[in-house]
A and B are shown apart, each in its own frame.
Chain A
Amino acid sequence: MRKRAVIVANDLSIGYHSGKKKTLVHSDINLTLYTGELTSLLGANGTGKSTLLRTLSGSQPALSGRLLLNDKPVSSFSEKEKSKSIGVVLTDKTRAGGLTVYELVALGRQPHTGFFGRLRKKDHKIIKEALDWVGIRHKASSYTAELSDGERQKVMIAKALVQECPLIILDEPTAFLDAVSRIEIMTMLHKLAAEQNKAILLSTHDIEQALVLSDRLWLLSKENGLESGVTEDIISSKKMERLFPNDKIKFDYDHGVYYPLVQSERKINVICDDRTTLHWVINAFNRNGYACIINEDKNDFPLLIINKSRDYSLISKGDNQNFTTFEELLDYITAQE
């Protein structure tokens, strides 16, 4: 399948009109959103992620610049045309607890149905396919109020699916979900992009999952505006640091996570061959205010040698101590102070 640009923006300025006052949130945004790709929008709170999503979905006008949806200006779309081009999944609380899953997903057919919203045979077929696709068909006749948060999110995705839009925009679809549901939803969205050739754009704070499953990342920050690129290109050009310009936070390029930077006078030498154990040793000492010096022993700081799991020996001022758990080790170290 060839990828196609669904949304193209040039020199876009986003923000709010309130009366005569203009509040500019971002300017000079250039971006392209492709079909067949899952794009994740990352950024700190208050950087304007939601404003950008609302502008792209056409529910809020851009302040200036060019914004094309399927090669036509977004502002030229009627409400009905827009509803057939962009499906959204929001964080808004709905009051649809009294509708069954089937009825709620059926609402997604409204742009395609007539004045009274009667569903035809074709509509029922599309609804059932979407329910199968998100794996919620068995709950079709349950009230949406009875669903878990993860299931409800699947239902809203199915609603966006039956709108039959080339583009689906999701505002923090994995917020409030447990780890299993988060991975499930993200995997499903990636599959949706790849198999149905849809353009999927989502905002998220779940950076771990975003790095695993996004084809493209959009980094939004006050300082650098919007930076876009294929996930691994963003990583290899060391741009993740710029997402949170803060000298207390570092990005761990090995593990794809952010961590608090330790600036400590207290240091410890660590010698360890196993990478996994080493990672958790550093984790433990960082948390307790120690910086670790890895695999070198040319100073006066204490030395921790890890022979194998559950066998830790600490050499400090000629004194040699052996431990089998981190609890004993950390208790000893903190007692020394």
Chain B
Amino acid sequence: MGYKGLKYCLLLSLLIIILVAANLLFGSVKIPADAVWNILCGNEVEKSSWTYIVWESRFPQAITAMLCGASLAACGLMLQTVFNNPLAGPSILGINSGASLGVALVMLTGGAAISSLSFTLSSFFSILLGAFVGSMAVMLLILFFSTLIKSNIMLLITGIMIGYITSSAISLLNFFATAEGVHSYMIWGMGNFGGVSLTQLPYFTAICLFGLFITILMIKPLNALLLGSRYAENLGINIKRTRNILLIATGILAAVTTAFCGPISFIGLAVPHISRLMLGTSNHNSLMPVTILTGSVIALICNIICILPGEWGVIPLNAVTPIIGAPIIIYVIINQRRIQYFN
């Protein structure tokens, strides 16, 4: 990693610490800063509900946002490089909608069992399983098509088509589901970093870090893939194996984030572009770590925006992410000639 990459990594890490602190300090309930500090140090504070809020809600939410942003951003970068396409992302390839279909199947067919928004642990794990099976099914389908279809753009379009089919399946499920089921599915679909409890957090963290670890290991072949698959092959890269590992890593990261936080749009698509614009390079040696850290920063910022109304409630996450993401994509498309990173 060059000097510039290192500088950005340090800067972004610092920003993440500040934003995590901000996420702990602010929320719908006002808790003084010194009380938050005391709670984190394990001391008693005047209201026991504050301890509960910080440990059971704000802390897991901040960590979830951080990991979720990192995972989605890493997914987006991997997919953009593998498919040689600046508009690739977990949501476009149908991976997110595969996960959504899995969740919809669990929520809407067993909808009666989930009576309130706070899921029981068993229903929670069945949702997680649904998302995993759904996104992996789409991944496998795309892997299967990738053996038939050599062109990356055609494969991308196939992914979009699979996304449409899963969406219509979800619509059908919604049509036949109970009102309660539809409501809780809708809430889940709005996206929320608050879906991971303190007890679930270690599992969530472990899965995310595992996926991110694979991502870091794939930096060298990702750089070779910038030259296209035939050049990469000539540089000693086993294309089939590399593509499979990258798609499986993407599947794991997309599934775990979608299961816990809902289908979050635009972070996976936009963050790699933000990072490229900042760094001015498509070299994954520095781009991958910076993308991961920027993903965390953007997700934490989105989470803070969501809780801005304070006691008035929480803005749905998927109402915030497109506002940040879409303008960046439009900027990149308009300045395509000047921004040469995909030429």
Instruction: Give chain A's interface residues, CB within 8 Å of chain B.
Output: 57, 59, 79-80, 82-84, 86-88, 90, 92-100, 103-104, 107-108, 110-111, 113, 115-117, 143, 145-146, 163
A111 touches B235 (CB 8 A): yes
Instruction: Give chain B's interface residues, CB within 8 Å of chain A.
Output: 84, 217, 219-220, 223-224, 226-228, 230-231, 233-238, 276, 280-283, 285, 340-343
Q: How far is the CA of A241 from the CA of B233 in the complex (A)?
A: 37
List the B side residues contacting A82 at CB < 8 Å.
234, 236
Instruction: Name the contact of B236 in the complex, choosing from A83, A97, A116, A145 (C-beta under 8 A).
Output: A83
List the B side residues contacting A57 at CB < 8 Å.
234
Instruction: Name the contact of A79 in the complex, choosing from B220, B227, B236, B341 (C-beta under 8 A).
Output: B236
Q: How far is the CA of A136 from the CA of B231 in the complex (A)?
A: 21
B283 touches A99 (CB 8 A): yes
- Closest CB in chain B relative to A277 CB, distance in Å: 47
B341 touches A98 (CB 8 A): yes
Q: How far is the CA of A206 from the CA of B281 in the complex (A)?
A: 36
Q: A95-B342, A98-B281, A99-B281 are in contact. Are A107 and B233 (CB under 8 A)?
A: no
B235 touches A110 (CB 8 A): yes
A94 touches B231 (CB 8 A): yes
Q: How far is the CA of A11 from the CA of B52 in the complex (A)?
A: 79
Q: A92-B231, A107-B224 are in contact. Are A79 and B237 (CB under 8 A)?
A: yes
Number of A-B residue pairs, CB cutoff 8 Å, is 94
Q: How far is the CA of A113 from the CA of B285 in the complex (A)?
A: 14
Besides A98-B282, A116-B219, A143-B340, 14 more A-B contacts (Cβ < 8 Å) are A79-B237, A82-B236, A87-B234, A94-B228, A94-B231, A97-B282, A97-B340, A103-B283, A107-B226, A110-B220, A113-B220, A115-B217, A145-B340, A163-B235
B224 touches A110 (CB 8 A): yes
A95 touches B226 (CB 8 A): yes
Interface centre among B226, B235, B276 (most CB of A within 10 A): B235
A98 touches B227 (CB 8 A): no
List the B side residues contacting A90 at CB < 8 Å.
228, 230-231
A94 touches B283 (CB 8 A): no
Instruction: Name the contact of A95 in the complex, choosing from B228, B233, B280, B281 (C-beta under 8 A).
Output: B228
- Closest CB in chain B relative to A147 CB, distance in Å: 10
Nearest B residue to A79 via CB reads B236
A94 touches B226 (CB 8 A): yes
Q: How far is the CA of A146 from the CA of B341 in the complex (A)?
A: 11
Q: How far is the CA of A104 from the CA of B282 in the complex (A)?
A: 11
Nearest A residue to B223 via CB reads A107
- Closest CB in chain A relative to B277 CB, distance in Å: 10
B236 touches A96 (CB 8 A): no
A96 touches B219 (CB 8 A): no
List the B side residues contacting A108 at CB < 8 Å.
235
- Closest CB in chain B relative to A323 CB, distance in Å: 51
Instruction: Name the contact of A117 in the complex, choosing from B220, B233, B281, B282 (C-beta under 8 A).
Output: B220
List the B side residues contacting A116 at CB < 8 Å.
219-220
Nearest B residue to A90 via CB reads B230
Q: How far is the CA of A100 from the CA of B223 in the complex (A)?
A: 12
Q: How far is the CA of A115 from the CA of B230 in the complex (A)?
A: 20
Nearest A residue to B236 via CB reads A83
A88 touches B234 (CB 8 A): yes
Nearest B residue to A91 via CB reads B230
Q: A92-B228, A92-B230, A116-B219 are in contact. Are A97 and B341 (CB under 8 A)?
A: yes
List 11 interface pairs A-B (beta carbons < 8 Å), by A numbering: A59-B234, A79-B237, A83-B236, A88-B234, A92-B227, A95-B228, A95-B343, A98-B340, A99-B281, A110-B224, A111-B235
Nearest B residue to A145 via CB reads B340
Q: How far is the CA of A163 from the CA of B232 in the complex (A)?
A: 12
Q: How far is the CA of A80 from the CA of B276 in the complex (A)?
A: 30
